Amino acid sequence: MYKSQSKHPLRPAWVEINLRQLWRNFQIINIDKPANLQILSVIKDQAYGHGSVQVARVAEQSGATYLAVATIDEALELRQHDVTSPILIFGERHEEELKVCIDENITCLVNNVSKAEKYSRMAKSAGKKALVHIEVDTGLSRYGVRWSEALPVIEAIAGLDHLVLEGVMSHFAMSDELDKSFAVLQIERFQQVLNSMTNRGIRVKYRHMCNTGGYLDLPQAHFDLVRIGILPLGIYPSQVCRRIAGLQPVMSVKAKVAAVRDLEAGDFVGYGMRYRASTPRRIAVIPLGFGDGYPRVRNQGHVLIHGKRAPVIGGLAMDAMMVDVTAIPETRVWDEVVLMGVQGQEEIDVHEIAQLKGSVSYDILTSWSWRLPRVYLNSNL
């Protein structure tokens, strides 16, 4: 790829990742959390679109004890970039993946005895002891052994010679809304399993249940370690969870105006002729479209130009969108546009864009296409 000489990439549309803000967010969380509570930094799906290697490095420097991803390739990418922290992969692994986990010292979840026995034999032939965690399903009905059936499975796995049972985890179905009743029931179920483990003399290094919502609002479920993904990125999982002063978003999405044009009354704008000018208007063309991950809206949403809101008009194209800048007459070609983030006194946050799509912040963060260059600010912190 050709590199631009300036801090901007060649393409006049990009995603900006402020690593100093990421660092600050981790420090703020370190001050907010109880001193002995450990952090597992969840960096699946390229750290929610921010770049997993870059986020992993800041997490490590901030004292995170563990990293987690969702696929074997995500784990291997970290190892290939010399990330040496312990890495946990969520979900289930098939046999060929397990082999790689042993070779690369990647921790996986084993949730049934026959798989654990097979894994123990594989570790034995590699001359290693493999680290494993067990997931207890307390009500999400996704991965893991059902809480009511967990103890014998945990006991059997803890007894295998070539595995080290390092952790026991569970995962909330709903932790960030006002109604915590199901979350509380899940905590009770998990606690029952932990108590019965203690009664049998089974100890693990890490008991963990909380995602960001749980970390913020359910301190009774912190246990030894919390698995936080979205919080260090400066984004809250819901409108109602606890706030921590000073956290700010790490990601912004920016572009430059590629063309400015004047419309006469009656002119149409865009595919499907979804907008028609009722009076003479001035519009700006932005070289970023739904192929870059912006929701495919029609006559909805705003961007920021000169610190002011310009409404999106017409339907989005794959590679471009049009906005009305009649009220921002200073607009010129190659002026900077903010699609997500702050400009002057105005802000368009991830939740505003999520609303356009009837979705959530997690979806928007991970939807920005990798054809948008990532620009890392303050990479030396």
Report, as residue numbers or ranges, the catalytic residues. Answer: 44, 271
Q: How many residues bind ligand PLP (CB under 6 A)?
A: 12
Q: Of the candidates 171, 222, 254, 281, which one interacts with ligand PLP according to CB under 6 A?
A: 171
**DSSP per-residue letters across 210-248:** --HHHHHH-GGG-TTEEEESSGGGT--SSSSSPP-TT--
Q: Determine which helix (DSSP H) or strand (DSSP E) holds 124, and give its type and residue range.
A: helix 113-125
Q: Does 212 interact with ligand PLP (rule: CB under 6 A)?
A: yes
- As a whole number of angstroms, the distance between CA 351 and CA 359 comes to 9
75: three-class secondary structure by DSSP: helix
**Among the candidate windows 226-234, 241-249, 311-319, 321-329, which touches ligand PLP by CB under 6 A?**
226-234
> Quick one: residue 214, left, alpha or beta (phi over 0 = left, psi -120 to 50 = alpha)?
alpha
Non-local (6+) Cβ contacts of 72 within 8 A are: 89, 93, 97, 100, 101, 106
Position with the least CB separation from ligand PLP: 229
Q: Supply 191's token pair.
A: 């606690």
Tell me if 90 contacts ligand PLP by CB under 6 A.
yes
Token pair of 135 as six digits? 């997931």
Q: How far is the CB of 357 from ligand PLP (least distance, A)?
A: 18
218 within 8 A of 182, measured Cβ to Cβ:
no
Interaction between residue 354 and ligand PLP (CB under 6 A): no
Q: Which is nearer to ligand PLP, 22 or 305 (CB)?
A: 22
Write down the least CB distance from residue 345 to ligand PLP, Å.
29
Paired tokens of 147: 């809480």
CB of 54 to ligand PLP, least distance (A): 17
Residue with tokens 């003479």: 280
Report residue 80 as tokens. 């290939």
Binding part of the chain for ligand PLP, among 160-168, 181-189, 230-238, 253-261 by CB under 6 A, reads 230-238
Nearer to ligand PLP, 66 or 290 (CB): 66
237 binds ligand PLP per the rule CB under 6 A = yes
The residue with tokens 């995170």 is 64
Instruction: Tell the smallest beta-carbon distance from residue 360 to ligand PLP (Å).
Output: 10
Give CA 92 to chain center in angstroms: 20
213 or 341: CB nearest ligand PLP? 213
Work out which of 229, 234, 249, 295 binds ligand PLP, going by CB under 6 A.
Answer: 229
Torsion of CA 118, 119, 121, 123, to 10 degrees: 170
232 binds ligand PLP (CB under 6 A): no
Q: Which residues pair with 327 in a beta bridge?
A: none
Q: Give the range of 93-101, 113-121, 223-231, 305-313 binding ligand PLP by CB under 6 A.
A: 223-231
Residues 99 and 130 sit within 8 Å (Cβ to Cβ) = no
Binding to ligand PLP in span 34-63, by CB under 6 A: 42, 44
Listed in sequence order, the DSSP H helices in 263-303 are none
Compute the least distance from the CB of residue 230 to ligand PLP, in Å: 4
Choice between 68 and 158, CB closer to ligand PLP: 68
Q: Which of residues 276-335 bind ligand PLP (CB under 6 A)?
A: none
Stretch that binds ligand PLP, among 108-116, 217-225, 229-237, 324-332 (CB under 6 A): 229-237
End-to-end CA distance of the chain: 25
CB of 143 to ligand PLP, least distance (A): 8
**Which one of 192-200, 225-233, 270-278, 294-302 is the stretch in contact with ligand PLP (CB under 6 A)?**
225-233
- Return residues touching ligand PLP (CB under 6 A): 42, 44, 90, 171, 211-212, 227-231, 237
